[in-house]
């Protein structure tokens, strides 16, 4: 993922007039089908990364699709300038005060992405008496607010046992602030809010936490090498297609003695 573009201040500012969607490649068959309609490499396989700007109905690409922003743009500034130009053509037609919480499809992925981004996780744990949408509606405006946008990674579960790997978590429903582990396979509970906590209380706590915490950065090769040595493995939901990635994994597996890249099917393990 090209961080130089996506962490650029001008691009972040321009993103406020866009709906920003970041999918996890090879983690959902239906999303993979959609991505294949956007961009595939010369081999026809879905590549590791995809980037494009599109119209709201997805019928038209607004830039050349590719593996990353630098397929179509020379610099972060040129991407931001194009985004600002495009945004002028669209009048937002709906109420922006009822946003949809920008979250991952499940907590397993949410915790992993949280670790990838080096950002803390906010997890809604719902049950039959504490519906998910109540907590999500409380969090959604905060997730887009000027103070908190892009500072936390959100996900939801109705199965508290999915969070057995979270240190200090008792299994009660509520909104959890979690610091992800180095590999996103576990984490540590920092704070828990009851499901009925006022949004302003959560907002103040998140602002305070974000103001004192730091984005975690990792060394790529050290992380991968150590992860392999320690057996930290991730099974994708669908098989990986990107040939460069597959070759790299085969090389790595030969040296570490691990099994093949595989890929788990939904419902499988």
Closer to other proteins by Cβ: residue 148 or 176 = 148
Binding string, residues 184-213; x marks residues near other proteins by CB under 8 A: xx------------------------xxxx
CB of 88 to other proteins, least distance (A): 10
The interface with other proteins within residues 8-37 (CB under 8 A) comprises 11-12, 15, 17-28, 30-31, 34-35
Neighbours of 265 (CB within 10 A): 12
The interface with other proteins within residues 225-244 (CB under 8 A) comprises 227-228, 232-234, 236, 240, 242
Whose tokens are 């945004």? That residue is 87
Which residues, in sequence order, are CB contacts of 155 under 8 Å at separation 6+? 103, 104, 105, 106, 107, 109, 110, 111, 121, 122, 123, 124
CB of 164 to other proteins, least distance (A): 17
* Contact range with other proteins by CB under 8 A, out of 1-9, 124-132, 164-172, 192-200: 1-9
- Indicate whether 254 belongs to the interface with other proteins (CB under 8 A): no
Residue among 20, 55, 53 at smallest CA distance from 39:
53
- Indicate whether 183 belongs to the interface with other proteins (CB under 8 A): yes
Cα dihedral across residues 53, 55, 57, 58: positive or negative: negative
* 3-class state of residue 127 by DSSP: strand
Burial (0-12, 13-18, 19+ Cβ within 10 Å), 139: buried
Closer to other proteins by Cβ: residue 194 or 244 = 244
CB of 197 to other proteins, least distance (A): 21
- DSSP run (H or E) holding 142: helix 132-143
What DSSP assignment string belongs to 208-245?
A: HHHHH-------HHHHHHHHHHTT-----SS----HHH
CB of 191 to other proteins, least distance (A): 15
Whose tokens are 């305070």? That residue is 208
Binding string, residues 102-141; x marks residues near other proteins by CB under 8 A: xxxx---xx-xx-xxx-xx---------------------
* Contact range with other proteins by CB under 8 A, out of 57-65, 125-133, 161-169, 194-202: 57-65
- Indicate whether 81 belongs to the interface with other proteins (CB under 8 A): no
* Contact range with other proteins by CB under 8 A, out of 48-56, 121-129, 165-173, 188-196: 48-56
CA angle 209, 140, 57 (to 5 degrees): 135
- Indicate whether 92 belongs to the interface with other proteins (CB under 8 A): yes
Closer to other proteins by Cβ: residue 117 or 195 = 117
Angle (deg, nearest 10), helices 243-256 and 220-229: 50
Binding string, residues 134-173; x marks residues near other proteins by CB under 8 A: ---------xx-x--xxx-x-x------------------
CB of 201 to other proteins, least distance (A): 19
């Amino acid at each position: 993922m090209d961080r130089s573009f996506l962490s650029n201040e001008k691009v972040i500012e321009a993103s406020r007039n866009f709906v920003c969607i970041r999918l996890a490649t090879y983690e959902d068959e239906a999303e993979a089908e959609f991505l294949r309609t956007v961009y595939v490499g010369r081999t026809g396989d879905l590549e590791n990364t995809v980037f494009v700007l599109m119209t709201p109905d997805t019928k038209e690409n607004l830039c050349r699709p590719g593996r990353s922003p630098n397929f179509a743009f020379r610099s972060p500034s040129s991407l931001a300038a194009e985004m600002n130009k495009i945004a002028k053509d669209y009048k937002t037609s709906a109420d922006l005060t009822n946003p949809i919480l920008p979250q991952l499809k499940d907590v397993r992925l949410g915790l992993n992405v949280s670790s990838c981004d080096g950002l803390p996780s906010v997890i809604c744990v719902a049950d039959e008496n504490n519906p998910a949408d109540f907590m999500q509606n409380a969090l959604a405006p905060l997730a887009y607010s000027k103070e908190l946008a892009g500072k936390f990674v959100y996900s939801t579960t109705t199965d508290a046992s999915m969070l057995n790997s979270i240190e200090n978590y008792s299994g009660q429903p509520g909104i959890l602030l979690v610091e992800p582990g180095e590999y996103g396979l576990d984490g540590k509970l920092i704070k828990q809010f009851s499901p009925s906590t006022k949004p302003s209380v959560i907002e103040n706590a998140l602002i305070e936490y974000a103001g004192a915490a730091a984005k975690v950065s990792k060394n790529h090769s050290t992380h991968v090498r150590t992860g392999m040595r320690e057996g930290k493995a991730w099974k994708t939901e669908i098989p990986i297609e990107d040939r460069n990635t597959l070759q790299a994994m085969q090389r790595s597996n030969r040296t570490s003695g691990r099994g093949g890249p595989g890929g788990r099917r939904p419902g499988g393990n």
